Amino acid sequence: MGGYVPLADPDRNTEPIRNETMSNPEDDRWSKVKTRLRTEVGEDIYSSWFARMDLEAVETESVRLSVPTRFLKSWIQSHYAERVLACWQAEDAKVIRIELIVRSAVLRSAVKPKVPELETNGFGSRYLNGNGDGRPMSVGDPGVHEALGGSPLDPRLTFDTFVIGRSNTLAHAAAKQVAAAKRGDAVMFNPLYIHAGVGLGKTHLLQAITWAGNALGERKVLYLTAEKFMYGFVSALRTQTAIAFKEALRGIGVLVIDDMQFLQGKSTQAEFCHTLNALIDAGRQVVIASDRPPSDLESLDDRVRSRLAGGLVVEIGTLGEELRFEILKARAMAARVHHPGFDVPLPVLSYIAKAVTHNGRDLEGALNRLLAHNKLTGHAVTLEMAEREVRDLIRPQEPKRVKIEDIQRVVARQYNVSRSDLLSSRRTANVVRPRQVAMYLAKTLTLRSLPEIGRRFGGRDHTTVLHAVRKIEGLVGNDMTLAEEIEILKRQLQE
């Protein structure tokens, strides 16, 4: 499973040879329905979505149609189900139901085009590239690239400049693996989902994958911020080149999406879901970074969420002091290429590594200040100067990102119940109180909304969560034991 299957490769038609049966009344009716549909939706849409739809069976009240991919199925279902039914009903009023299935993989093993390739290769292959050479558009065509809005890359963010430490070993290894995969290699984890707090190297890793993957030249790697994805898609829809957009997606071997948490809006998410499914089903690699795990992405369709969680989810932990030191050292060395006089003594580096605890961005900021000071005044970099320059970057330790899952785990352990008890509908006192405590902690220690917390606690209503929060708030004022328990739980979670 998971091998490289072309999404709709014009050179390799994956459609089965289907027996051309003698004309019979059902086929006649099917032809009429198709003609009707073609007239209604127009040639372009028809050939994009319906060209490969086949009739499988007709019963008295229902008709079974098939398409070759899950993507086509879900797209047709969500956009054209009623249209298709209406077209059937116009020919045969008895039909009340259309069942759409994905043609079996067995059928698909036969390889031979049955109609000229431009008709059969699915995603709007009739949108040619405009060069007059009759070839479909590809990502290489500037028009489409613009529609896709490939985001700019920072040449410094490569694997070479990425320093490996305990907190990012796994994420780094997975990223390397993805970047080095060749066309035809089995896809090991899809999607690869990397999450971490701000400044811990998500973008760095994602761009490193993009640079390395494209340098290898095996598969086209496209890096998009979620914003670009939204903008690209929305504007593509506005200029009615959605089909061209789909077409362009065909040319992508690896789609990299950064800052997934910014992907907002129902229709954007629907498009994202389709894109994700289409690419994954076709064995293309998808890589995603976000500031939170899939389970904490609010307002996301459950199907998308489970799809995201279905690959490999890795967290990058906070940068330890040792790793901060190594990053600083590498940075200082790199800076010397352009600024030969910029000499940062090791004690200064270890001072900054110790003092500036936040994230990669602050480390960079600290070094930049030393550099600026050094350049502008000509003074050598000393410990005293460093202490003065980075003073305001030294902030108390940033509170740890607390996850609802952790809260549930820690609370369950504390009260000796199971996590599933907390999520269950059981109403016995030994479960109700811990559940309320956990909801209260979720509200006070995370930024999650009441409905989101309700969802994470076995699909409860937000009013239930609000009740729990108020209840505990009311109790801690009088109940010293409870107040203390909660303090201990908070400390455990924020450690």
The binding site for ligand ADP (CB under 6 A) comprises: 157, 161-163, 168, 196, 198-204, 327, 360-361, 364
For residues 43 and 297, give the distance between their C-alpha atoms in angstroms, rounded to a whole number.
39
Residues 189-248 that bind Mg ion (CB under 5 A): 202-203
DSSP string of 305-373?
A: HHHHHTSEEEE--PPPHHHHHHHHHHHHHHHHHH-TT----HHHHHHHHHH--S-HHHHHHHHHHHHHH
Q: Which does 27 bind (CB under 5 to 8 A by kind): ligand ADP, Mg ion, none?
A: none
Of 103 and 202, CB closest to Mg ion: 202
Q: Which does 46 bind (CB under 5 to 8 A by kind): ligand ADP, Mg ion, none?
A: none
Q: Which does 356 bind (CB under 5 to 8 A by kind): Mg ion, ligand ADP, none?
A: none
In sequence order, the 6+-apart residues with CB closer than 8 A to the CB of 422 are 408, 411, 412, 431, 434, 435, 438, 457, 458
CB of 174 to ligand ADP, least distance (A): 14
Of 258 and 389, CB closest to Mg ion: 258
Of 203 and 446, CB closest to Mg ion: 203
Q: Which does 435 bind (CB under 5 to 8 A by kind): Mg ion, ligand ADP, none?
A: none
Q: Over the range 413-449, which residues count as b (16 or more CB within 10 Å of their CB) and which as e?
A: ebbebeeebbbeeeeeeebebbbbbbbbbbbebbebe
CB of 157 to Mg ion, least distance (A): 10
Residues 41-80 that bind Mg ion (CB under 5 A): none
CB of 494 to ligand ADP, least distance (A): 21
Of 138 and 261, CB closest to Mg ion: 261
Q: Which does 168 bind (CB under 5 to 8 A by kind): ligand ADP, Mg ion, none?
A: ligand ADP
CB of 339 to ligand ADP, least distance (A): 17
Residue number of the CB closest to Mg ion reads 203
Of 157 and 450, CB closest to Mg ion: 157
Question: 387, 420, 400: which is closest to 359 by C-alpha?
Answer: 400
Of 163 and 181, CB closest to ligand ADP: 163
For residues 325 and 323, give the distance between their C-alpha atoms in angstroms, rounded to a whole number.
5
Q: Over the range 104-114, which residues count as b (16 or more CB within 10 Å of their CB) and which as e?
A: eeeeeeeeeee
For residues 124 and 143, give the distance between their C-alpha atoms in angstroms, rounded to a whole number.
16
Residue 100 CA: distances (Å) to CA of 88, 114, 453: 13, 22, 36
Q: Which does 312 bind (CB under 5 to 8 A by kind): ligand ADP, Mg ion, none?
A: none
Query: Which residues contact Mg ion by CB under 5 A?
Result: 202-203
